[in-house]
Structure 1
Amino acid sequence: MSTVATKETEDHSFTAPRAEDLAALLVAGDRPLRPSALSASLTFGWRAMLKIKHVPEQLFDVTAFPVMMVLMYTYLFGGALAGSVDAYIQFLLPGILVMSVVMITMYTGVAINTDIDKGVFDRFRTLPIWRPAPMVGYLLGDVVRYFIASVVMLTVGVVIGYRPGGGATGILLGIALLMLFSFSFSWIWTMFGLMLRTEKSVMGVSMMVIFPLTFLSNVFVDPRTMPGWLQAFVNNSPVTHLATAVRELMAGNWPAADIAWSLGWSAAFVLVFGAVTMRLYNRK
């Protein structure tokens, strides 16, 4: 019996491969090229879109929420502020479009914080890719969500009486400027998503920042009706510059100063908060 066991052991014995054979196997083919910064960012952007596919409830904030905002503020304030809904919607819609999309950006920080808590980012950091790619991919995926929200709100606005004087060109220019600003503004929330420990804290801090910034603007009324000290803040708010630029572009005008301010604010957000975000990401 021992002879049989010995024979079976010999039949199933394992011979360790030689180091030369392993080396030849590992270097036999060409190593794949490292993905470019754009390719890696787009891949992570596609990942963000796939998350929406598997959890479609994430589209609630870019569909139902914008519709609610347009209808509520138009019919609530229209008669009191402009005399009629038709008159007020011409002023309100571009502003409420800016306000809604800018408010939606804060969910970026919540999503990043959730992924960090699950340990996904630990894997991302080990990949041989452009280091900011996961962050940029998140924001690129969210730009698609911002675009969906813009289309939904403009569709509702047109149905209830909004008529953009700039036509399709003015609308596209206004949306393009809004998308660029929102992409840049989202870097603030990526910083909070990395800095704070829970998604509830990210949401709470984001609300404290976003509500004063969006409501203290010219979204609802002309700042000339406000007290002087408040006008000074409102007239220099990035949301005010953006809302004015989008409003004028959709009306068929070219507000060069407000466009320049919006682009300047966008660049500042990326340079300042993008740098802080990447520093936190590299050290976390």
Structure 2
Amino acid sequence: MTAISPAAPGVTVSARPGVAATMRHTATLAWRSLVQIKHNPMELLDLSVQPIMFLLLFTYVFGGAIAGSTGDYLQFSLPGLIAQNMLFASLTTAIGLNTDITKGVFDRLRSLPIARSAPLTGRIVADTLKQAWAFALFLGVGMVLGFRVHTGVFGVLGALALLLAFALAMSWPAVLIGLTAENQEKVQIVAFSLIMPITFTSNAFVPTATMPSWLQKWAEINPVSHLADAVRGLLSGGPIASSAIVSLLWAAGLAVVFAPLSIRAFRNRT
């Protein structure tokens, strides 16, 4: 017969980590994801090359044909390009999460005395912070090319805050894709198939009035259109409240729908 001996005096049995410990574990693993850039500079290069490439291509290839001059088009398109890049950058969450799971990183982390949710939340926090780098790069290069901010520092900070809030909400669909896809190739196929049509059927790159009437109806409710309009207002001036509120409502809706699904998939997968 086997008897279960009681815990020795003065020794407490480990329990589920509290809120403070969970936040500390999340911060530690988020820092782990950020420090990885030092050892893998290509990850930061991916976040840098694509924004610059899109900015140069859209400005100097399409700008003259769409707006008559590259300067006018840059002033219109930069906020839309920032919104589009935010969606594409959410792929890093899906790909990174899928890589950690398929390579057994999560199995090793589960053997540590940390909160079970910390690997997931740490990845989300780190990738959301990386979005700030992409925003700064877009804005910096755009200003070198001739883009001008007309709303001052508070407008820039407001645009960044709105983008980070939307990026945080977008991380939940990305988590679900990363957890359910078998490998990185399928993650990219699924994500691109969803993100590409949403961004290119918005007013991120062209005014809605230039679209066919049937497409205008979709563009007017497209969340990317509202996000691009809000960022335009915050950076260049113009109406802000309506587009910002709708963008935040879309973000809240994405989080409410996909966060429970992602958490369930995470528990099943790990």
Question: Normalising by the residue count of structure 2, what TM-score does the alignment of the two structures yield?
Answer: 0.90
Aligned: 1:122 with 2:107 = yes
The correspondence of residues 167-246 of structure 1 with structure 2, limited to 5 A, is 167-246=152-231
The correspondence of residues 149-168 of structure 1 with structure 2, limited to 5 A, is 149-168=134-153
* Percent of aligned positions that are identical: 38
Match of 2:147, SS? coil
Residues matched between the structures, number? 264
Select between 213-222 and 133-142 the one with higher mean Cα deviation: 133-142
Select between 36-45 and 145-154 the one with higher mean Cα deviation: 36-45
- Aligned mates of 2:208, 2:247 — CA distance in 1: 18
- Structure 1 runs (4+) deviating above 2 angstroms are 26-38, 122-133
Gap change, CA 1:205 and 1:83, over 3 Å in 2: same
Matched AA of 1:118: K
Q: Spell out, residue by residue over 1:220-243, the C-alpha distance to the aligned partner (whole angstroms, 9 max, x if none).
A: 111111111111111111111101
1:91 matched to which residue of 2?
Answer: 76
Aligned residues: CA RMSD:
2.3
1:283 matched to which residue of 2?
Answer: 268
Q: Quick check: 2:17–2:115 contact (8 Å CA) kept in 1? A: no
- Aligned mates of 1:257, 1:209 — CA distance in 2: 25
Tell me the CA shift for residue 123 of structure 1: 3.5
- Aligned mates of 1:126, 1:237 — CA distance in 2: 43
Structure 2, unaligned runs of 5 or more = none
Tell me the CA shift for residue 255 of structure 1: 1.5
2:38 matched to which residue of 1?
Answer: 53
Tell me the CA shift for residue 78 of structure 1: 1.4
Aligned: 1:43 with 2:17 = no
Q: Quick check: 1:166–1:253 contact (8 Å CA) kept in 2? A: no
Q: Quick check: 2:17–2:114 contact (8 Å CA) kept in 1? A: no
Select between 33-42 and 151-160 the one with higher mean Cα deviation: 33-42
2:11 matched to which residue of 1?
Answer: 27
Match of 2:56, SS? helix
Question: Normalising by the residue count of structure 1, what TM-score does the alignment of the two structures yield?
Answer: 0.86
Matched AA of 2:11: V
Matched AA of 2:248: L
Matched AA of 2:201: L
Match of 1:163, SS? coil
Match of 1:210, SS? helix
1:104 matched to which residue of 2?
Answer: 89
> Which has the higher Rg, Structure 1 or Structure 2?
1
- Aligned mates of 2:243, 2:115 — CA distance in 1: 34
Match of 2:165, SS? helix
- Aligned mates of 2:248, 2:229 — CA distance in 1: 13
- Aligned mates of 1:133, 1:210 — CA distance in 2: 27
Tell me the CA shift for residue 278 of structure 1: 0.6
- Aligned mates of 1:27, 1:248 — CA distance in 2: 59
Q: Spell out, residue by residue over 1:46-105, the C-alpha distance to the aligned partner (whole angstroms, 9 max, x if none).
A: 111122121111012221111111111001111111111111111011111111121111
- Match for 1:140 among 111, 125, 132? 125
- Aligned mates of 1:121, 1:47 — CA distance in 2: 13
- Aligned mates of 1:147, 1:254 — CA distance in 2: 24
Matched AA of 1:27: V
Tell me the CA shift for residue 151 of structure 1: 0.8
